[in-house]
Each structure stands twice: as C-alpha cells, then as structure tokens.
Chain A
Amino acid sequence: MNFIFNKDKHKHNKDDREQRYTQRATAKIIDKFAIQGNIKGAIESGRRRIKFLIAMVLCGFTILIWRAVDLMVLSHRVAPASSFSWGFKAPKKIGSILDRNDVVVAVNLPEQSLYVNSIEFLSQNESPEEAADKILSILPNLNKSKLMKKLTNHKSFTFIKKLITPMEAKKVLEYGIVGLHFKPDSKRIYPQNNLLSHVIGIRGVDGGGLQGVEKSFNDLMVNQGKDLQLSIDVRVQHILRSEIEKTVEKFNAKGGAGVIMDVKTGEVLGMSSYPDYDPNHYQNATSDQLFNRATKGLYEVGSVFKAFTMASALNSHTVQLDDIFDTSTPLKVGRFKIHDYEYFKYPLRVPEIFAHSSNIGTSKIALQMGTEIQKKYLKELGLLDKVDINLPEITKPMYPQGRRWTPLSTMTISFGHGIAVSPLHVAQALSSLVNGGYGIKATLLKQTKPQLDKRIFNQHTADTMRHLLRTVVTSGTGRKSEVRGYRIGAKTGTADVAAKGGYNRNARRTTLSSVFPMDNPKYAIVVMIDKPLGIKETHGYATAGWVVAPLVRNIISRLGPMMNIIPKYDVELKPQKTSKYYIRPFNWNKKMGQVTPRHNIHKKWYE
C-alpha cells in the first residue's frame, strides 16, 4: 500500500512541476510579445462582449426550455375531439322517434353543409364565374348572381347551401375548388314518409320542432338528446291511413280523419288525417295537407253524440231501457222542427231509439234529463275542453256559451248538432263509455299499465252501453260495419255541414265511432269522412252507414287478426225477441207476431 501511495505522491509532484513550467513559459511568451495600451483594452472589451453574448444565448435557451416544459408538462392540453372533424364541433345529438315496437319513424342522419371561405377562394386564380358554373352543375337550384357574390364577399365563412346530400358533397369535392369547405351537420329523416305526418309533425332547418310531437317534445329530444317512444303502431297506422285514403278517393270526399285508441290505457295506436304530406318535403305541402283534422278539426259529429246522451240519461236514472217515446211525427220547438230519417208508427223503446238513431227520441230523452246533467256529463267526458294530449295542434270544442245553451241547444246537442268536437274527443269519450265507465286521457306515449281516471258511469250503465252499441251493428244503422266473429259495437253519425245561416243539405260529414270486441272492449275506432258524394254502388247515398261503416269493417277485419283477437262464431248474431235489447224492424207493426230470429243460438256474445 505504501508503495502505491509513494508512487501517487511522486506522480502528483511531477504534475505540479509540469504546471509551473508551463506557467513560466507562457509568461515568457507574453513578455516577448507584450500587448499593451489600446490593443489590450480592445481585447478585454471583446472578451466581455463574448461573455455577455453567451449569457444572453443561455438566457434565451433557458426561457425556451422553460416555455417548452410549461407547454408540454405544466399547462398540457389535449387536442379537442372536434379537431378530427374539419375543425367544427360535432352537431348536437337530437333524439329519434320510435313507434311502440321500436320502428324508427324519425331520425337524425349526418349530413354536410357547404360553405365558402371567400378570402381563401380569392387568393387562388380561379375565376368566380367558372367556379359558380361548376357548383351550379351540382346544385342547380342556387341563384348564380347570389352565388357569385358569396364567392367574392371577402368573408371567411358564408353558407352556400345547408344540408347537401352525400352524393352532392362527393361531386363538389371532385371539382377541387379552393375555398369550398363542408360543415358537419345533421338532417331529420322520416323513413315512413306520409304515414305519420300529422303525429310527428315537422322540424325546421334550424333544428327546432314546428308541429306535432317534434314541437311538443322538442326539449326532450334536443336539449336532453333522448329518444321518444310513441304509442303509435305503424302497422295499425298503415291500415287506418290506407282505408281512409281509399274511401276518400272512392267517394270523392274532401278529406277524412281517424283515431284508433286503446280504451283502457288511452294510448293512441293510430291517428290519421287525410290529405296528408311527406314531412321530408314539407315545404311543398298545402295548408289543407298540413291541417290535422283528427285533433284540430272541429266537426259536428251528429248521431255519434247519442251514445253520450244515452249513457248520461241511463246513469242519472232519467230513463230506463223499457221507457217508450213517440217518434211518429217531427218535434216542434218554437220555430224549429226536429226531424228523423224515418218515422216509426209505433212508439220506440230506448234501445230502438238508439239503434234506429232517432233524433226526436233522443231530444225527448235529453229534455227529460235537463241541461245541467247533460253539461255535467259532457264536461266529465272531456267534450267541453281541449284534449290533454302531447300535441300542439289541439282546439277547444265549440258549443253555446253560458245562457246561449238553451233547451233547444240541449236537444240538438243530444244528437250531435250545435256542438263541434274533434274525432280525438269522440274517441276519448267513447273509451270512457266502454272501459267500465272510467275517465281516460288520450296519450301519444307508450304505456305499460291501464291509466284509468275517476269513474264517470257506473258498471251497470257501462254494460248497458256495450249492449246498446252492439245493437246498432246487429239491427241498427251500422250493420255494414259487422265482421263475423269480432263482436263489434258502433254508432253512426251523419251531420249536415254547417253553412252560412244554417246547414247545407247537400253536404254531409259522416262519422262512425266503433268499439271491438264488445264482450271485453279493447279498441275504440273513430273515423270521419268529410263531404263524401253518393256513388252508384251506394245507390246515391252518402250516409255514415254507407260510407264509413264499410271502411271500419275493413279496418277491423285487418286489425283483429293482427292484434290476436280470437273471433267467436258460436254466439248469437242478434238479440233474441225476448231480450230487452231486441230491436223491432221498421215494419214491425205490419208483420206483428211474424218476426222470428233466424239464428236460434242460445249462447250470448257477451258471455
């Protein structure tokens, strides 16, 4: 170890000696070439400058490094997601609309809007006219002069056309015009076209709902981005719409409307108003097409109201089924006369008044019942208020206000004249008649449980009404709506169209309100055809029994199997002669004692 230490010491001494020698030699050289005076000062100042420069560079680098660290570590930010899509924010999600079986009826699809950066466009040497011609070859609906202005307005953002199709966007890209860009956007598409136009409504270019559920549920779909599930079934809707369309065309009518409703949940399964429009191209629709007859149209529905009058009278114990009323002559009230379609020579029982649709008989019942009771029941049935449904297109019914509701009004309202309601009002009130007498609210949202309100009619009245509605189909004015096996109940209504100073006797509005199956009512169907014209096939008649009853028969014969309603064939077709609901035919007094029911089946339809 000593040896090593000594060796190191020796080495150290040697280094010192070498250093001293070098220092001495340097001093000798300096002395030899001594720089003195001004030259020395200049070199010194040079040295200082170099030192200052190095300090500055170091300072600069330190700042740069600090900034880099600051950018990358301390204030690190990640590029936003929108930077992946042309530098724009992705369009806001708008909820879709689905039917009760999750079929898409309205959905937002990604599309693009074309815009121009004029500054960028003008920096290139392309002529605006040539560029405009190229754009017009793809989008021919644009105005050339306006387009030229947009291309040369020195602005960085001007829309050329909002929402162009992917094919159009592809063609624009192929031209490679500098300054033309696309903004990601979305467009509302209605795959079912005309089918649900009045229910869904429309959404404007700016994305706001303008009509239908698009308007009433705008907040849910736009702000919350949630999907909306309707109570509508597109299959049911198709049946309803297609049958109304056929009938309107067959009878050369002005229009038609229909509602199909679940009587226990209040769900609207189908709602149609004809003529309708395609919501994808609503700009081309006329005001008549945009008008929702099913909810906004107010019509005097005629004899359909007799069902409500009967139920009110029976529930208030004003009349019993066996009460008889004379309907053999027109009823005179002041200067007015109430007429019947046919005058029966024998007094009619209450079920016969209902089945033969006697205005005189119903007026007498209403008079016996009184205005207050009538008003009370109509109010409870929701026939004097707006329908509380999730649609903006609703109207308050029209009826005489305050003192104007005279005894004559009571009589005319009892058979559906002097009061104007929408088909949806009728469907809602009819559901209350047959669902056990409970009030119900129509809804366009899918329900899972029955939504019954407070009771309006007792069980006995509700059962009686089911029988009375059935007699209209078996022996009354609605015979043409019968589908064997489906136990349909209905009430027809033919009303003259109100004209200036009275009624137009040549124009009619035919309505049929029906329910099936009557032993356990499930669906209420109300269809109205506006101003049908008689044809050869109907012997010139254009009443509800000829126009709307076959329409409802077609609807039920298609709807029944679809909704898994099992037909019953081994039940009686008509109430037996001994039944309290037996309806005597028109010429009963001539063939007295000869009327025998053809089908002698003892099993009742309601068992």
Chain B
Amino acid sequence: MSTLKKYVLIMAIYLILIVAVFSVSQYSGELTIKTKKLQHDIQQEKDTISVLNAEWAYLNTPEHIEGLATHYLKLHPTSARQVVSIKDLMAKIKVLEVKAKKKALYLAKLRKKRHVKSHKYTHKKTRKSTHIKSTHIKSKHTKTKHKKVVTKHNHTRAKH
C-alpha cells in the first residue's frame, strides 16, 4: 500500500471516529438535557405534592375538623364512659349471656304456668269463648273494612 493510500485510510478512520464521537457526545448531551428536564418536572411534581400536603394539613387542622363535626354531624369528644377494654367487654358479654339465659328460663317457666292456667280456663269455658276473628263487613259505600271482633274470652285474658 502506497504511503498516500495509507494517509487517506488514516484520515478516513479519523473522520469516522470524529463523527462517531461527535454523534455520541450529541446523543449524551440530548439525554442529559432530557434528564435535567425530567428532574425539573419531578421537582415541580414534588412542589405540587408539598402544596397539596400543606393544604391537606390545613383542612385537617383539629379546630377545623372539630367545627365541621359539631356543625354537621352533631358529634362530641369521646367520653371516658365510651372506652372499654376487650377484656372487660368479654366479661360483660358473659354476664349479659348469663342474664339472658336466666331471663329466658324464667320466661319459659312463666309461659308454662300461664299455659296451664289458660288451658284450665279454656277447658271450663270452651263453649262460651270464641277466638279473635277479623271479618269483612261491607260498608254503605261498598268499601271493605277490617274489624276486630274482641271476644269475651279476650277480655277475660286481659284481666289476668
């Protein structure tokens, strides 16, 4: 290869390298600008978030919330009586359960007694007593009316 050709080749390689470096540098420059723009956008978003946070904190000030709650919800601060521990609550539930069982037993007993009494009563006066009936009576204006017929038997039960 002649020296001229060698020089031309070296020059060509130089040129290619220069172009390559230049384009890479341009590309990286563009990317840097893009990054800076993104960073700027992020900062702007952060600023917006901080503004919104401040606004949220302002709207959530205890005084503001208290005012709104008392005005619109008729709420008041929780009193000590409204605070119960889970342990106490379970104990209370147990007590209530026992009470409810006792009451149920008592009621059942009472019902049984009454049933016996009423059974005796009805056995004696079966012929005279009638049950509650609702009869349809046609009025003058041809409208149907529900009328309760209170029987003698019902009166007597009420007296008991």
Interface residues of A (CB under 8 A from B): 69, 72-73, 76, 78-81, 84-85, 90, 96, 103-105, 107-110, 189, 191-193, 195, 234-235, 237-238, 242, 483-486, 557-558, 560-562, 564-567
* B150: min CB distance to chain A, Å: 50
Report yes or no: A191 in contact with B39, Cβ–Cβ below 8 A.
no
Write out, one digit per residue, whether chain B residues 77-97 have a CB within 8 A of any chain A CB (1) or not (0). 111111111001000000000
**B2-10, B59-67, B123-131, B136-144: which lies at the A interface?**
B59-67
Alpha-carbon gap, A305 to B54, bound state (A): 42
Q: Does B26 contact A (CB under 8 A)?
A: yes
Which of A84, A85, A96 has its CB near the most chain B CB atoms (within 10 A)?
Answer: A84
Question: Is B154 at the interface (CB under 8 A from chain A)?
Answer: no
Of A73, A78, A109, A561, the residue contacting B83 (CB under 8 A) is: A561
**Contact between B47 and A84, CB atoms less than 8 A apart:** no
Sample (19) of A-B pairs whose CB atoms are under 8 Å apart: A69-B22, A72-B22, A73-B18, A79-B36, A81-B36, A81-B40, A84-B40, A90-B43, A105-B57, A191-B58, A192-B58, A195-B62, A234-B62, A238-B62, A486-B80, A557-B80, A561-B78, A561-B83, A566-B83
B158 vs chain A, min Cβ distance (A): 43
- Interface presence of B53 (CB below 8 A): yes
B70 interface residue, CB < 8 Å from A? Answer: no
Residues on B with C-beta less than 8 A from A561 are 77-80, 82-83
Contact of A557 among B22, B58, B63, B79 (CB under 8 A): B79
Inter-subunit contact A84/B60 (CB<8 Å): no
Q: Is B134 an interface residue (CB 8 A)?
A: no
Question: When the two chains form their complex, are residues B78 and A73 in contact, meaning their CB atoms are under 8 A apart?
Answer: no
Task: List 3 tightest A-B contacts by C-beta distance, closest first.
Answer: A238-B62, A191-B57, A191-B58
Shortest CB distance A452–B (Å):
27
CA distance A79 to B39 in the complex (A): 13
Further pairs besides A78-B33, A109-B47: 6, Cβ < 8 Å: A78-B32, A84-B36, A110-B51, A191-B54, A195-B63, A242-B63
Cβ of B26 and Cβ of A567 under 8 Å apart?
no
| Docked pose: A103 CA to B64 CA in angstroms | 15
Contacts of A484 in B (CB 8 A): 80
Indicate which residue in B18, B66, B80 contacts A485 across the interface (CB closer than 8 Å).
B80
| Chain B residues with CB below 8 A from A564, complex form | 83
How many residue pairs link A and B with beta carbons under 8 A? The number is: 95
Alpha-carbon distance A401/B11, docked complex (angstroms): 93
A554 → B minimal CB distance (Å): 9
A interface majority secondary structure: mixed
Contact A108-B62, Cβ < 8 Å, known A72-B22, A560-B80, A562-B78 = no
Which listed residue, B25, B53, B63, B79, touches A72 by the CB 8 Å rule?
B25
Query: How far, in angstroms, from A520 to B63 measured CA to CA in the complex?
Result: 31
Is B18 in contact with A69, judged by CB distance below 8 angstroms?
yes
Contacts of A84 in B (CB 8 A): 36-37, 40
Q: A151 CA to B66 CA in the complex, in Å?
A: 49
Whether the pair A567, B83 counts as a contact (CB closer than 8 A) is yes
Nearest-Cβ distance from residue A90 to partner chain B, whole angstroms: 7
B62–A235 touching, CB < 8 Å: yes
Chain A residue numbers with a CB within 8 Å of B40 are: 81, 84-85
Given contacts A73-B22, A566-B84, contact A107 B53 (CB under 8 A): yes
Once the chains are docked, how many angstroms separate the CA of A436 from the CA of B31? Answer: 64
Whether B88 and A78, one on each chain, are in contact in the complex, defined by CB atoms closer than 8 angstroms, is no
Cβ of A566: which chain B residues have Cβ within 8 Å of it? 83-85, 88
Contacts of B110 in A (CB 8 A): none
User: Min CB distance, A220 to chain B, in Å?
Assistant: 18
- In angstroms, Cα B82 to Cα A492, docked, is 29
Q: Smallest CB-CB separation from B82: which chain A residue?
A: A561
A562 to B57, CA, bound (A): 19
Give A105's nearest chain B residue, CB to CB.
B57
A85 — which chain B residues lie within 8 A by C-beta?
Answer: 40
B75 within 8 A of A: no
The residues of B that contact A242 with a CB separation of less than 8 Å are: 63
A76 B47 Cβ-Cβ under 8 A:
no
Q: Is the CB of A103 within 8 A of B83?
A: no
Cβ distance B56 to chain A, nearest Cβ, rounded Å? 8
The reply to whether B83 and A104 form a contact with Cβ atoms under 8 Å apart is no
Residue of A nearest to B43 (CB): A90
A195-B56 Cα distance, complex, nearest whole Å? 16
Inter-subunit contact A78/B36 (CB<8 Å) = yes
> Is A76 within 8 A of B25, CB to CB?
yes
